[in-house]
Amino acid sequence: MKKRAGLFSAVLLGVAASVVVAAFASAGSAQNPQTSSATVPVDVDTASLRGPVQPIFYRHDVHVVDFEMDCRYCHFAAEVSANPGLPTMSTCMGCHLIAGAGNPEVEKLKTAVAERRPIEWVEVHQLGSFVRFPHHRHVNSDKGRFEGLDAAEKCMECHGPVDEMPQVYQFATLKMGWCLDCHIESEASRDCTVCHY
């Protein structure tokens, strides 16, 4: 907790170098080498990993575990909007102005920003346009499976162990039966027009 607060304020101040180095040093000691290490990724065959190949090999696992970043730091609207929000490129650059210099994946980001060209991420969780999943209602819920969970744990109920995903893949089936299992368990509405309109 302490470390995370330190990291965040440093990032916000934009003078993060020393703290980030400290964070690197403290991370990744006993982890599975494929899932988390601040010094990777360089020569990873991303096509062999689960999940769609992204234009930049952004490591959710590294950011979540090693840097202990909260999901909501990047997906900033999850609590207030149906749409969780995608980090803007300047959010990335808040850290990567300094952090990760020399990492080829980070260089891709910097090049794109310099060219004012947005990264076109491949959507992993696709919902049909006939169904609504209001993130804010779920992240703020304490019913059923969500009881006693913190925000990140709630995210992972549907998105799976993102902290162990070098490349994000679709964890849940996202089929209606899967939705309903949880809605029944938590006594949420099962009316069709709650989600379909």
Contact assessment for residue 99 and residue 19, using Cβ atoms and an 8 Å cutoff: no
* Shortest separation between residue 28's beta carbon and other proteins, angstroms: 27
In the region spanning residues 78 to 117, those forming contacts with other proteins, defined by CB under 8 A, are 80-91, 113, 116
The answer to whether the beta carbons of residues 79 and 139 sit under 8 Å apart is yes
Residue with token string 């999850």: 78
**Residue 19 or 59: which CB sits closer to other proteins?**
59
Shortest distance (Å) from residue 26 CB to other proteins: 30
- Give the nearest distance from C-beta 101 to other proteins in angstroms: 20
What tokens does 117 get? 């060209």
**Position 193 contacts other proteins (CB under 8 A):** yes
Q: Select the residue interacting with other proteins from 3, 4, 110, 136 (CB under 8 A).
A: 136
Separation between Cα atoms, residue 53 and residue 185, nearest integer Å = 34
Is residue 143 part of the contact set for other proteins (CB under 8 A)?
Answer: no
12 binds other proteins (CB under 8 A): no
Q: Does 175 bind other proteins (CB under 8 A)?
A: yes
Degrees, nearest 5: CA angle 143-147-148? 155
Which of 52, 145, 151, 152 forms a contact with other proteins (CB under 8 A)?
A: 52
Q: Name the strand (E) or helix (H) holding 156.
A: helix 151-159
**Angstrom distance (rounded) from CA 99 to CA 102:** 9
131 forms part of the interface with other proteins (CB under 8 A): yes
Q: How far is the CB of 81 from other proteins (least distance, A)?
A: 4
Taking the least distance from each CB to other proteins, the nearer of 4 and 136 is 136
Note whether 172 binds other proteins by CB under 8 A.
no
CB 152 within 8 A of CB 158: no
**Toward other proteins, which CB reaches closer, 35 or 54?**
54
Interacting residues of 104 by C-beta distance below 8 A, sequence separation 6+: 42
Residues in Cβ contact with 53 at an 8 Å cutoff, skipping those fewer than 6 apart: 46, 47, 122, 167
Chain residues in the site for other proteins (CB under 8 A): 50-52, 77, 80-91, 113, 116, 118-123, 126-132, 134-137, 140, 169-170, 173-176, 189-194, 196-197
